[in-house]
Every structure is written in structure tokens, then in C-alpha cells.
Amino acid sequence: MKTTVIMLTLSVLLAISTVNNAFAGGAIKIGVDLEGDHDVSGFGESGSADVDMGFSLSGELFGSVSDNVDIGGGITWQLPRSQKDFEGDFYFIPFYGMVRLQSSSGKVAPYVVGQLGYNFFFGDDDYKGTGIYAADLEGGLYYGIGGGIIINDNFQIEALYSVNNGSAEILGYDFDIEYSKISLIFGFIF
């Protein structure tokens, strides 16, 4: 499964670089995901744990609708991360559509961005468990909102609040999982 996800991600990034001529541009980004929250709820109960800092890699394609509006899509690969005081690592891989509104163009162009999509949910054996107690992880809704600046049409700095949703089924019981975080993102626009 992990090999399939890696191949899918590489294929999407390759597609981003080869079909760029049909779009106004694209971006390759690296994000520093600050400590976040991992919330679990089910059967009227809920719990929360802090998540350690992590890193993410993203690729996006976008086209201009007008001088100040871009639309497009992207994929983000979160490197595995862990919860404080809990064993195991987890990560999400969201695929999303996006809208970016720029207030101006030039040497420094501020913008706001919204993202909406679906994410796949993964965890190692320590996170999911093993044997009959192993959880079956399912992805869910992904969304994010943020803002940033584009510098000299080639570099971007962004702050993004995003939420990854998923679920886990253990012994026939379903639990909702939400991972929320703030990311500081640095990107190269091509």
C-alpha cells in the first residue's frame, strides 16, 4: 500500500511538471506543521492529544480566472508524525481544489487561499494496532484556509490552518478522527 501511495504521489508531481503549459503556473512547497491537535470521538466520548511538529511536501497547479483570482488543485504528502505520550506515527495525504485571491501583483503580492478536498489516512502498526485489535483507517474531508505573500512571482510564504478528517474502525466500533494544525509554508512557483 505504501508503495502505491508513493507511486501515486510521484505520478501527480510528474503530471504537475509536464502539464504546466495548460495552466498559468504551479508550485512546489515545503511546510513546517506546527504542533497540532489529534481529536478522537465516538459513542459520546472524546479525547484529544497534542501532535509533535511535522513536515509536509506539496505540489499545486493553478490557472488564472482573472487578474486577481486563481483556481487549481494540489496534493500534500505529510511525513509521518506522532502524538505526545502515545506510540505510533500517522499521516494524511490530501488531494484538494483551491481558490487563491490576490490583492495585487508585482514584487510582493499578498493573497488569501482556501482549499477543499479529500484525504487518505495512514498509520503504522504502533498507531493502528495489530492482530484482531488493528484499526481499519479511512480518509475523509480535508479543508484549509490561509494567507501569504508571493515575492517576485517565484517565491511564496504562506500560513495555513488546515483540518484532516478520518475514521478508524476497531472491532466493529467506529471513531471519528480530526487532526488540525497551523503550517508555515515556503514555496517555489514555476
| Close Cβ partners of 35 (under 8 Å, ≥ 6 residues apart) | 50, 51, 52, 53, 181
> Over the stretch 95-107, which tens digit does the pLDDT of each residue have?
999 999 998 767 8
Contact (Cβ atoms closer than 8 angstroms) between residue 166 and residue 147: no
> Over the stretch 58-90, which tens digit does the pLDDT of each residue have?
999 999 888 889 999 999 999 999 999 898 999
Residue 172 phi/psi, 5-degree rounding, is 85, 0
CATH 3.40.1280.10 fits 2-189, yes or no: no
> Over the stretch 9-61, which tens digit does the pLDDT of each residue have?
555 555 555 444 455 789 999 999 999 999 999 988 899 999 999 999 999 99
